[in-house]
Amino acid sequence: MKYKKIVFPRDGAAHDNVIEWWYFNGHLKDGNGNGYAFMDCLFKAKPKEVKLPFLKKIPLKNAYFAHSLLSDIKDNVFYSSVQPLSILSRDSFSKPLFFVNYSHPSLGGYLNYEIEEIDGFKYRIKSEFFDLTLSSTKKPLLEGGRGFIDLNSKQTFYYSLTNLETEGYVTVNGKRIKVKGKSWMDHQWADVPYSKDKWSWFSIQLDNNTEMVCFEYGDKKKKTYLASISYANGRVAHASDLSLTPLGQVWESKRTGAKYPLSWRIQVPSKRIDLVVSPLMKEQEIIFGPINYWEGPLKVTGKVNNKKVAGKGFSELVGYPTTKSFVEFYEPELRKIEKIVKRDLSEWVGHTISGKPGFAADRRK
C-alpha cells in the first residue's frame, strides 16, 4: 500500500481497501454523576480477502459488520451488541460528509444504527444503547506524524479525533438518560486483514486536555510500538520508546478462558510520560466468531513532565489466547454466526444478490 497524504473531508469517508473501520469510545455522566462508558465501531471489509470464514462466503464487494457496547459503571453492568452482518440503507454514503444508516435483522424488530458527520469533525452516532452528538475540539491527530504507519509486515492509514465534547442520551433498562462527557474517534483503513493479529491498544484522555494513543502491535515476526500525543496547546508528538508493562490485575473469561491483563504501566521516557491505567469494570469481553477481545474503560493516574496527572481512557486487548478448543467453543459460535448471515441475506433482504430493488447493502462496483 502506497502512502497518500490524508486530506479532509475526503479521507473521513470510505476507501476502496480490504478493511476499514470507524471507531468511537467515550466516558459519560448523567445529572446525578453516575458514570457510563461506550464503544461503537462499524467495519467495512472485502469478503473474499479478509480471513473470517463467515464473511468470505458473502457475495458482495463490501460487507459491513458492527460492534457496540455500553458500560453502566455504577451498577457494574455491561451491555454489548455484535452484528455479524449489517444491512445498509439505500441513502448511505449519499451525503457530502460521511453518513451510514444501518441495521441488523437479528435485533428482533427494526432498529437503525447511524454514524453521520453532520459538520466538519462533528458526529451523530446512534445505536440501541445511545444517541450522541460528538464535536471535536482539536484538529485530527495523524498517528506517527503522517497518519500512515508501517507495522513491519503491513501498513495502515490511521488518524484520531482525541477530544470530542459529547452530549445526548444512553438507554438503560428501557430508560432514556441524558448524559454529557468526552469521547474519542479512530478511523483506520488498510489492504490487509487483521483477523489473526495481536495488539494491546490504549486511548488516554487526561484532565489537562492532553491525549495520547499508544499500542503494542505484534504479529509472528516482530512487534511495533508507537505513541502519538496531542497536547493542550495543539502541539503533537510521536515516539517509539513506548513501554507497556502489565501490573498483575488479570481477568479470566468464563466463556473463552482467555486471560486479559487489565492494569498497565505506560511509559514514554522521551516524552517524560509515566502513567498507570486500571479498569473501571472487568467483564468487558466481546466475542465475534473466532475472535475474542477485551474492550473497556480505564482510570488513569501518573505523571507527565514530573507533574501529577489524572484522567480516563479505553483499552482494546486483541489476540489473547483462549483455553477453550475450537470444537468446544468457537465452532458453535462460528456456525451460529453463519446461520444468522445466511438468514439475513435470504429472509430479511428477500432478494438474490443481483441488484434488484429492495437490497440495501453495498453493491457499488
Residue 240 per-residue DSSP state: S
- Amino acid symbol at 269: P
Task: Please give the tally of structural domains in the chain.
Answer: 1
Cα distance from N-terminal residue to C-terminal residue, the chain: 20
Binned at pLDDT 50, 70 and 90, residue 24 comes out as very high
The pTM of the full predicted model, rounded to 2 decimals, is 0.90
C-alpha to C-alpha distances, 282 to 79, 204, 206, 263, nearest whole angstrom: 13, 18, 21, 10
- pLDDT tens, position by position, 78-90: 999 988 888 899 9
Checking if the pLDDT of 325 tops 80, the result is: no
What rounded mean pLDDT belongs to the chain? Answer: 88
> What grid cell was written down for 198?
495481536
Q: Is residue 7 part of a domain?
A: no
Q: Is residue 1 part of a domain?
A: no
Q: How far apart are CA 273 and CA 38, in angstroms?
A: 26
Sign of CA dihedral 41, 213, 12, 167: positive
- Domain of 302, CATH number, reads 2.40.370.10
Task: Return the exposure string of 168-193: e unless at least 16 CB atoms fall within 10 Å of the residue's CB, then b.
Answer: bbbebeeeebebebbbbbbbbbbbbb
Residues 6+ apart with CB under 8 A from 217: 151, 197, 198, 199, 223, 224, 225, 226
Give one word for 45, left, alpha or beta, with left for phi > 0 and alpha for psi -120 to 50: beta
> What grid cell was written down for 353?
444478490
Q: Is residue 5 part of a domain?
A: no
Q: Looking at residues 228-247, what average pLDDT do you find? A: 97
Checking if the pLDDT of 70 tops 50, the result is: yes
- pLDDT tens, position by position, 136-190: 999 999 999 999 999 887 899 999 999 999 999 999 999 999 999 999 999 999 9
- Give me the domain span that covers residue 29: 17-348
Q: Is residue 9 part of a domain?
A: no
pLDDT on residue 48: 83
Residue whose grid cell is 473469561: 253
pLDDT on residue 334: 62
Sign of CA dihedral 259, 263, 267, 271: positive
Q: How far apart are CA 34 and CA 71, in angstroms?
A: 11
Binned at pLDDT 50, 70 and 90, residue 338 comes out as low
Q: Is residue 3 part of a domain?
A: no
> What grid cell was written down for 4?
497518500
Q: Is residue 235 part of a domain?
A: yes
Task: Return the exposure string of 51-85: e unless at least 16 CB atoms fall within 10 Å of the residue's CB, then b.
Answer: ebebbeebebebbbbbbbbbbbbeeeebbbbbbbb
Q: Which helix (H) or strand (E) holds 199?
A: strand 198-206
Quote the percentage of the chain above a pLDDT of 70: 84
Q: Is residue 8 part of a domain?
A: no
Q: Is residue 358 part of a domain?
A: no
Q: How far apart are CA 217 and CA 152, in angstroms?
A: 10
> What grid cell was written down for 180?
454529557
